[in-house]
Amino acid sequence: EAINIILSSCKERKIKISSACFGVAGPVSANHDFCSLTYVKWKADTKEILRKTSLKAFLINDFEAVVYGINMLSNRDLMEVGHKRKALPKATKAVIGAGTGLGKSILVYQDYYKAYIPIPSEGGFSDFPAQNELELGLVDFIKKKKKINEPISWEEIISGKGIESIYSFLRPSFNPTKYTSEISRSMDKAPLIAKYKNRDRACRETFRLYVRFYARCAKNFVLDSLARGGLYIAGGIASKNSE
């Protein structure tokens, strides 16, 4: 329905679209023609799209789509974090980004295209490595709260829902403040926890842990990919909490 609305709008403006690429949130089939989305009960199927819209479609992972944009960035689009080494030209790059979930991708330079091409990944679902008693307690808390039997993934920690889980785990250790009830009433707690991270001790400690986990994941990904071309941090949470 959404595709047909856009095609109809384009037709009114005498714009003809015969094919399109869609970035979809989930693992895409090898033929780039099917994806069962991760967090909603939708299936993206290029055969169905062609039948119902006459549009030839090609599917890629949504974070893979984001990562293609690295080719378009200039220095003014970037903020350097912890810069110690100069990135090597045409060397492998890594991109990580947290928002609703956690995306990872490795960029490899292709001379034929004169551009970096992303390798799709579902690395956000790899296991979170707890390092001490507090972190093991957080893992057990999330497992019990969400009735999860398998290992906890990075995505359960480094994401919007991860911020909420960390906060819920830490909250009983702090006295309530005037912000506590507002956060507890909210259906979407992560933005409020971020908003009050400099005013509320529980929120501040949540973000201190969250940044530690994000940094650990980033470090491990740099080692996995040997990203001598640099690591890029994308995603809504980093952009909204750049400090």
**Residues 185-194: tens digit of each pLDDT:** 999 999 999 9
* Mean pLDDT (whole number) for 99-116: 94
Cα radius of gyration rounded to whole Å, the chain: 20
| CA–CA distance, 235 with 154 (Å, rounded to integer) | 15
What are the distances in angstroms from CA 39 to CA 100, 125, 153, 214?
Answer: 9, 13, 15, 22
CB 107 within 8 A of CB 93: yes
Single pTM value for the model: 0.88
* Mean pLDDT (whole number) for 47-70: 93
Confidence of residue 227 (pLDDT cuts 50, 70, 90): very high
Write the DSSP symbol of residue 187. Answer: S
**Residues 121-163: tens digit of each pLDDT:** 889 999 999 999 999 999 999 999 999 999 999 999 999 999 9
The answer, yes or no, to whether residue 33 has pLDDT greater than 90, is: yes
pLDDT given at position 122? 87
Confidence of residue 229 (pLDDT cuts 50, 70, 90): very high
Question: What's the half-sphere exposure (Cβ side, CA atoms, 13 Å) at 45?
Answer: 7
Q: Which runs of consecutive H residues, i.e. helices, occur in 2-83?
A: 2-12, 46-53, 62-68
∠ CA(79), CA(94), CA(242), 5° rounding? 30
* Mean pLDDT (whole number) for 229-234: 94
Write the DSSP symbol of residue 25. Answer: S
* Mean pLDDT (whole number) for 99-121: 93
* Mean pLDDT (whole number) for 68-87: 88
* Mean pLDDT (whole number) for 75-86: 85
Average pLDDT, rounded, for the chain: 94
Considering the chain, what percentage of its residues have pLDDT values greater than 90? 87
The answer, yes or no, to whether residue 84 has pLDDT greater than 80, is: no
Q: Which two tokens stand for residue 196?
A: 């009050």
Extract the runs of DSSP E, i.e. beta strands, from the chain: 19-24, 34-36, 43-45, 56-61, 93-98, 102-110, 115-119, 231-234
Indicate if the alpha-carbon torsion angle 109, 110, 115, 117 is positive or negative: negative
